[in-house]
Structure 1
Amino acid sequence: MKENYLGVDVCSLTYDEITSSLFHKIENSQKSFIVAINPEKIMKAQTDENLRGLLNKADYQIPDGIGVILASKIRGGNIRERVTGIDMMITLCREAEKRGKSIFLYGAKPGIADQAKIQLEKQFPKLHIAGTMHGYEKDEEVVKKTINEANPDIIFVALGSPTQEYWIIRHMDKLAPKVYQGVGGSFDVISGNLKRAPLFFQRLGLEWFYRLIKEPSRWRRQLILPKFLIKALKEK
């Protein structure tokens, strides 16, 4: 089920519902594309038709922003919880370990994916990580060959948004994985190179506020949230 905010689709499914659906598709050799949606992306999509089309091509647009939750409540929608990119990734890794499916980590700076692999193996000892590759390899054929030879079921792409989503759309038909998720800076967080907001802030949907405290220069970016909510309310 999906809701639409200013022309951008957003899924109202939970972690468990998305996970169940994805692994059903894996078993049926169907490909799936996951993209994280937040107010910043929705607002950018207002003036970028290509970006709006890209976001709407995804099979699952997960609500990775408290603004989307608030907009859904204002409009009487069904989205009640955030489905963050990094937590969706961890959920898929946990389920992949249970079901004997494999993953591939592609992107970030040299060495980061390898460090993330080590941490994931500590958390999920039986998880099959078919391979890793940093995001600075310029030869697309080398990238595709490496991924296809590893033959993973799921690939996490950390090239930054929307670069990673455009990359997925361009290449997913030629690659082996069944599930494609753009995960931004998640490898940096999982590897321990970047600190995530404490659980208190995560649970309240206030990671944006924690980042603002740490980086006060971000305040201009945070103005997007009220602008988005005003537009979403007017749209109703």
Structure 2
Amino acid sequence: MTNSDGRRNQGSCSGDDRRVRLFDITFTPGSAVEILSVARDQSVTGPRLIVTANLDHIVTLSENVAFRKAYDRAVARTLDGMPLVWLARLSGATTARRVTGHDLVEAAFAEPWPAGQRIFLICASEIVGTRLTERLLAKGLPRHAIAVTVPPYGFEADEAYGTQLAAAVRAHGTTLLVFGVGAPRSEIWVDRQGEALGGPMVLAVGEALNVAAGLVPRAPVILQRAGLEWLFRFLNAPHRLFRRYFVRSWRLVGLVLRRFFVRHNPQRATTASTPSGARDTP
């Protein structure tokens, strides 16, 4: 993604003083509708990626250089997890609010459609694509404006397939590209394909796409507000999510403590800000 003067876009969104700064990431303020509007208005060449940060993303960002690059170049970033919202508020950002992948999908799929809307869905399974196509058709989007694909496992590392998929996205005239195959694969792939995709707005929302298709339940609102949506998700998929919630999430504690240490020991800031063992691969 480049600006008009040829420089890469670094995700600058607006001068809104409500913006939240956390873990060296500037988050975009506003509701899901407002954030989509900000993304549409960005003057960039290439895809306009919106990322949704949760605890696992923060940990992965400290380890994976390619993922960090994708985040830095995104046009908008949201606080998806309540623990991050609480951390932001404790840091003084009292206006911090949660905007999830679910919120973005619902706002993006709501009528009235932007002029010339053409949606490309990259789904985890055929049934997800079928259900979402039915939903979009029922809302009045023409069939020719909807494209769906289910990429093979490891697609992000397959250069030939990536070139083919990017060409298909561009040929469709895609204005909204929605990824439901998980992080960091989606974000890194979009960032690496760049202008080959054309100029769509891109939502990397993972399982939120399965929820939108009606195949996976979402936690009750009371659990969402209490910051316990993760527990509901874990109980519905314990084998898949055990490591994320009970092993990897503890690394965030180390990141928070390290930042606290750096804040009180400025001379160590340069050393501490460099991720240990960071990789430039998905």
Q: Shorter-chain-normalised TM-score: which range? A: 0.7 to 0.9
* RMSD of equivalent CA atoms: 2.9
Structure 1: state its 5+ residue gaps. none
Match runs of 1:69-218 below 5 Å: 69-94=85-110, 97=113, 99=115, 101-122=117-138, 125-128=139-142, 129-136=145-152, 139-214=161-236, 215=238, 217=242, 218=245
Shift of 1:108: 1.5
- Residue 270 of structure 2 corresponds to which residue in structure 1? none
| Cα separation, 2, equivalents of 1:96 and 1:108 | 27
Deviations 1:154-197 (A, max 9, x none): 11122310110111112230123421121212232222322221
Structure 2: state its 5+ residue gaps. 1-15, 264-282
**Matched-pair contact (CA < 8 Å) for 1:100–1:127:** no
- Residue 39 of structure 2 corresponds to which residue in structure 1? 22
Alignment CA distance shift 1:142-1:30 (3 Å): closer
**AA matched with 1:19:** L
Over alpha carbons, which structure has the higher Rg? 2
**Matched-pair contact (CA < 8 Å) for 1:5–1:232:** no
1:223 has 2:250 as partner: yes
**AA matched with 1:11:** T
Shift of 1:153: 0.9
1:7 corresponds, among 21, 24, 30, to 24
Alignment CA distance shift 1:3-1:63 (3 Å): same
Alignment CA distance shift 1:231-1:79 (3 Å): farther
2:64 corresponds, among 48, 53, 56, to 48
State the identity as a percent: 20
| Cα separation, 2, equivalents of 1:168 and 1:196 | 27
Instruction: Name the stretch that deviates more: 129-138 or 165-174.
Output: 129-138
**AA matched with 1:4:** R
Give the TM-score normalised by the residue count of structure 1. 0.82
Alignment CA distance shift 1:111-1:162 (3 Å): same
Shift of 1:202: 2.6
Alignment CA distance shift 1:4-1:53 (3 Å): farther
